Structure 1
Amino acid sequence: MHNTITKYNYFKRLTLTSLTASLLLLQACDKFEYSPYEIRLRDNERELNQKNINRILEQNIAEDATITFALISDTQGYYKDTETIVTHLNNLDGVQFVLHNGDITDFGLLKEFRLINERLGKLNAPLVTVIGNHDAVSNGMQLYKEMYGPYNFSFVAGHSKFIFINTNYWEFNGAALDLNWLESELSDRDAYKQVFVLSHIPPTSPAFGEANAARYRELMNKYKVSMSIHGHNHSFETYQLEDGGTKYMNVGEADDQEFILMRVNNENVSFERISTKGES
């Protein structure tokens, strides 16, 4: 009887030891997921915005050049449509960078960030993103910051300045929309031929915050912003909120099977809607 118990304990310890070793091996290989809410990024998944901004700066775009860039938005779960858009963009000549107007993911989970990054990471051109409201749920706020970087930032390419601002007022409990920071970024407006402000939620949405929307519109007009560009509404639209004021654009979702191609020079801003329907 004593020997039977001893053998049982031995095999029990052996089984537990083997299971523990297997779990540690899976963890080391980054194949074991403890929780969908975990944050465990690889080195090549960190600070993606700054890495891609550096790639844009390395192009040394001349101040008198025409800049060609693409706009996409709301890829949240539309993996096949995103793949098709990426393929189409890679087959176009002259696209210098791609800008994503938020809602990269649907539920702000690591698996989603990783799945969409695997697809968007195949773009030949550098990709720069802004945080969307769906990216800010669960623990997406921290994930976005670690994977892509700060919520508010800017960069300059040739004659144009691009300003990205977090407008997810509800998800950040009213703490989003640092309009003092935005005005500081706009204060050197005269140094650039064109200035673009990009965010996810447009000022026409209640989720922007009424007081924020009023001041935002004032800043756009005061500093003669070339275009204020957004996502969120899941449909394409261009409009002006005041006669002679700043022009606004809402970029459609990836499920619309299209993207926007912008061409910008010292004097003009033009765009076209490029359909990917029927492509695979």
Structure 2
Amino acid sequence: MRVFVAPIMIAVMGFSSCNSFEYSPNQTFDRNSYRDINAGNLKRLGDGRNDDTVRFILTGDTQRSRDETVRFTKKINEMPGIDFVVVAGDITEFGVLQEMEWISRSLAKLKPPYVAVIGNHDLTSRGRDAFTTMFGPLNYSFIYGGIKFVCHDTNSREHKFNGQTPDIPWLKAEMQPQEGVSNYVAISHVAPNSDDFDQALIKGYTDNFAAVPGFLASLHAHAHNYQLFYPDDSGIPYYITSSMGNEEFLLVEIINHKASFERIPF
């Protein structure tokens, strides 16, 4: 008995002591996990003060799409003049750390910096804790090329339609006139045409954007297929990018306070 039990016990102890071994769906970080990806990549990006042509990629719903994410990364790295990439939520399917790490390892090979927005699947299990550790706050903003990008949580269903998601007071504060900012772009996962968006907050949400001078577009994912819609008569476009699994993304270009959008397969 001693001959066989001791090696088994040692092996078990070795596995259980290794921080990189994914032993529980409740795990939110390990020693190999990335930390504060958004903040680190935004530091790399800088403020683009002298960049008069802003070009970025919008993608989303990378869950269950590791191979497609690898091909996406190669495609983006072949494209000239891309300033940054936005992954608009649902990095994971089950909110599990290992899923988030798999996708992040592929996206880390992008030449341009990237940032991520929280998706509804990322809020399942312990996904919220894993996301905030690896990427940062659920609501944040940054300025590049005189444009303020307001990234926020619109996953109302996962917050039990509590009337606070999206956080409209926070959005209003972020979109106040600001020196050096001429335009605004909102980015979130769930669009206001979805049943997963709190129906009681739709008007306040869209009215807020309509009232912001220089507001260019509201950008989303979640539906897995490309959509363009106008929820009111403000003329503001609401775009939904296709999913990573459908091998298509949006190229957004902003020049002279005007935005253009191109669907690109890969």
Counterpart in the other structure of 1:226: 216
Counterpart in the other structure of 1:264: 254
Counterpart in the other structure of 2:21: 32
Which of 164, 176, 196 aligns to 2:151? It is 164
Aligned pair in 2 of structure 1 residues 93, 122: CA closer, same or farther (>3 Å)? same
Greater shift, 174-183 or 84-93, is seen at: 174-183
Which of 178, 190, 199 aligns to 1:210? It is 199
The DSSP-based 3-state class of the residue aligned with 1:170 is helix
TM-aligned CA deviation for residue 259 of structure 1:
1.2
Question: Structure 2 unaligned runs (5+)?
Answer: none
Which of 131, 143, 152 aligns to 2:130? It is 143
Aligned pair 1:255/2:245, yes or no?
Answer: yes
Map Cα deviations across residues 209-237 of structure 1 (whole Å, 9 max, x no partner): 11211100110101142100011111111
TM-aligned CA deviation for residue 22 of structure 1:
3.2
Which of 62, 74, 88 aligns to 2:61? It is 74
Counterpart in the other structure of 2:170: 181
Map Cα deviations across residues 137-156 of structure 1 (whole Å, 9 max, x no partner): 11111111111110000000
Aligned pair in 2 of structure 1 residues 153, 228: CA closer, same or farther (>3 Å)? same
Counterpart in the other structure of 1:54: 43
Aligned pair in 2 of structure 1 residues 272, 215: CA closer, same or farther (>3 Å)? same
The DSSP-based 3-state class of the residue aligned with 2:242 is coil
The letter of the residue matching 1:148 is: F
TM-aligned CA deviation for residue 34 of structure 1:
2.5
TM-aligned CA deviation for residue 85 of structure 1:
1.1
Q: Does the Cα contact within 8 Å between 1:194 and 1:266 map onto a contact in 2?
A: no
Q: Return the alpha-carbon distance in structure 1 between the equivalents of residues 132 and 233 of structure 2.
A: 37
Map Cα deviations across residues 176-232 of structure 1 (whole Å, 9 max, x no partner): 211111100011267522210000000111211112111001101011421000111
The letter of the residue matching 1:47 is: D
The letter of the residue matching 2:91 is: I
The letter of the residue matching 1:198 is: I
What is the number of equivalent residue pairs in this alignment?
Answer: 263
Which of 102, 119, 144 aligns to 2:89? It is 102
The letter of the residue matching 1:89 is: I
Which of 118, 140, 143 aligns to 1:153? It is 140
TM-aligned CA deviation for residue 127 of structure 1:
0.8
Counterpart in the other structure of 2:264: 274
Sequence identity percentage: 32
Q: Does the Cα contact within 8 Å between 1:41 and 1:147 map onto a contact in 2?
A: no
Greater shift, 187-196 or 66-75, is seen at: 187-196
Counterpart in the other structure of 1:5: none
Aligned pair 1:130/2:120, yes or no?
Answer: no
Counterpart in the other structure of 1:200: 189
Q: Return the alpha-carbon distance in structure 2 between the equivalents of residues 162 and 55 of structure 1.
A: 16
The DSSP-based 3-state class of the residue aligned with 2:264 is strand
TM-aligned CA deviation for residue 118 of structure 1:
1.4
Map Cα deviations across residues 99-155 of structure 1 (whole Å, 9 max, x no partner): 111111111111111111111111111111110001111111111111111000000
Counterpart in the other structure of 1:245: 235
Q: Does the Cα contact within 8 Å between 2:94 and 2:121 map onto a contact in 1?
A: yes
Q: Give me the TM-score of the superposition, normalised by structure 2.
A: 0.92
Aligned pair in 2 of structure 1 residues 186, 43: CA closer, same or farther (>3 Å)? farther
Q: Does the Cα contact within 8 Å between 1:159 and 1:193 map onto a contact in 2?
A: yes
More helix by share: 1
Greater shift, 27-36 or 243-252, is seen at: 27-36
The DSSP-based 3-state class of the residue aligned with 1:45 is coil
Q: Return the alpha-carbon distance in structure 1 between the equivalents of residues 13 and 143 of structure 2.
A: 45
Q: Does the Cα contact within 8 Å between 1:161 and 1:192 map onto a contact in 2?
A: yes
- Between Structure 1 and Structure 2, whose CA radius of gyration is higher? 1
Q: Return the alpha-carbon distance in structure 2 between the equivalents of residues 43 and 114 of structure 1.
A: 9
